[in-house]
């Protein structure tokens, strides 16, 4: 079974973890939080998602330790920060091309 490690528990991390588990992969989720919001309500059955909570990368565990634990892929991603009205604001539409160009980081996959 393919094992993937995800660092962080933001909405995109949880959504990625859900898709990977549903695709039959095993996921390790590392977060500084005791438990990511909504994880217990939204996690599919099957025992393929391991949560490592209350752990800080570089303090409680090193990147080498994560990579050494048979992970075939390590995902580190940053979300794109933006603020808008719920449902959009017709007077000030979002130009997603500008948001995309301003994004400082894109997801990185280590294989």
> CA-CA distance, 17 to 57, in Å (whole number)?
18
- CA-to-CA separations, 32 to 14, 29, 82, 86, in angstroms, rounded: 14, 10, 23, 29
* 32-68 burial code (b ≥16 CB/10 A, e <16): eeeebeebeeebeeeebbebeeeeebeeeeeeeebee
Number of domains in the chain: 1
In a domain, 93, yes or no: no
Domain of 47, CATH number, reads 3.40.50.720
In a domain, 85, yes or no: no
Residue 25 lies in domain: 3-80+106-110
Return the pLDDT at 111: 38
Position 108 confidence tier, pLDDT thresholds 50, 70, 90: very low
Write the pLDDT tens digit of every residue in 43-63: 555 557 777 777 787 888 787
In a domain, 19, yes or no: yes
């Amino acid at each position: 079974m393919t094992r993937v490690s995800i660092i962080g528990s933001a909405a995109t991390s949880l959504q990625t973890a859900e898709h990977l588990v549903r695709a039959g992969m095993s996921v390790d989720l590392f977060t500084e939080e005791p438990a990511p919001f909504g994880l217990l309500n939204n996690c599919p059955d099957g025992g393929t998602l391991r949560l490592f909570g209350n752990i800080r990368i570089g303090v409680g565990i090193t990147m080498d330790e994560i990579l050494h634990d048979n992970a075939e892929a390590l995902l580190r991603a940053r979300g794109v920060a933006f603020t808008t009205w719920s449902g959009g604001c017709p007077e000030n539409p979002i130009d997603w091309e500008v948001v995309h160009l301003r994004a400082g980081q894109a997801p990185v996959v280590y294989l």
